[in-house]
Amino acid sequence: MHKFKKANFIVLTIVILTILLSGCELESSENFQDNIGDLVVHYIDIGQGDSIFIQLPNGETSLIDGGPRANSDVVVNYLKEMKIEKVDYLIATHPHEDHIGGLPEVVKNFEIGKIYMPDKVANTAIFESLLKEIKAKDLKISVPSSGEYLIDTDDLKYQVLAPNGEKYENTNDYSIVSKITFKDNSFLFTGDAEKTSEKEMIGKGYDLTADVLKVGHHGSSTSTTEEFLLKVDPDYGVISLAKDNKYGHPHKEIIELLNKKGIDILRTDELGNIIIKSDGKDIEILNGYSKENSIKETVYEEENYIGNKNTKIYHSPDCGSLPKEENQIIFKSKEEAEKEGFKPHEKCIK
């Protein structure tokens, strides 16, 4: 994999795009056509969640996740401003609201080719809403197998690398992990896959190397192990998250690890929409990035804990069993939670 070392660092063409959640024009109707033949990956500033739109060099498109329901208009407007009419490959990595919340509106507003979801259901209103919109258009859901290629040509490959198991304790480990390779460049998209899934991918012997890594689970310490990061060996790590989110993302340990490995960090809470283009040989960042952004010091606040008002159990912010948002109460410490009569969740609080 081509590494961008200081001695031969390719000068990045930085085009400052004024891209705000208020819906400013992206001037992308021309860009979409102009970029056919290139791979362009849009990490949409969706708040606390994931949504990645991909312009494939063969003229097709892919959308990985749709962010939270509250920001579904952000994804829909983003695609409409680009004059997108069809999403050829729609991937819902796993059934958490911050990843599938915007997808019902996407399915409703655009022509959809193939839909990929893991073999994991959720007893939530948003999951039911997504299934309803899929059924309304008489679309089918495919459950991909690890190792399966969605696209497999000499110059362009789109491969599924996870999940590799059939049953997980944590819903995050059901995340569909995929990799796009375009000639000499590659991008790895991890959803919220955590340590268990990362270990399985390593054990399978997959080629995990990538120039750009979508850092797992919004920069949580439950993902991106050092062993996994060594296998990926990226130049860039993209983190999708909201500013001042209640989970404390990105976690200090992950930022320190990325810095230790010399990986440039690009964050949607700092840069807004992050757009990266590849011609198959070189990678170009098309918006608001500077080297200083990737290494600036992050100030971390004390980690919060999330209680369930109904069960009187409190959880770590990364627990896979967090209560629905309307049932959550935030505590600044374990002591505060226990003073209010809450007990620790036996699986996530040590």
- Residues 116 and 176: their CA atoms lie apart, in Å, by 9
With cut-offs at 50, 70 and 90, classify the pLDDT of residue 116.
very high
With cut-offs at 50, 70 and 90, classify the pLDDT of residue 18.
very low
Q: Which residues have a Cβ under 8 Å from the Cβ of 339 and sit 6 or more positions away?
A: none
Q: Which residues have a Cβ under 8 Å from the Cβ of 59 and sit 6 or more positions away?
A: 36
Q: In the block, which residue shows the tokens 């599938």?
A: 100
pLDDT score at 35: 65
Higher pLDDT, 117 or 6: 117
Of 140, 183, 188, 186, nearest in space to 162 by CA: 188
Of 101, 115, 89, nearest in space to 46 by CA: 101
Confidence (pTM): 0.78
Tell me: pLDDT of 27 over 90.
Answer: no
From residue 199, give the alpha-carbon distance in Å to each of 19, 20, 206, 225: 37, 37, 11, 9
From residue 259, give the alpha-carbon distance in Å to each of 139, 208, 253, 256, 304: 43, 20, 10, 5, 24
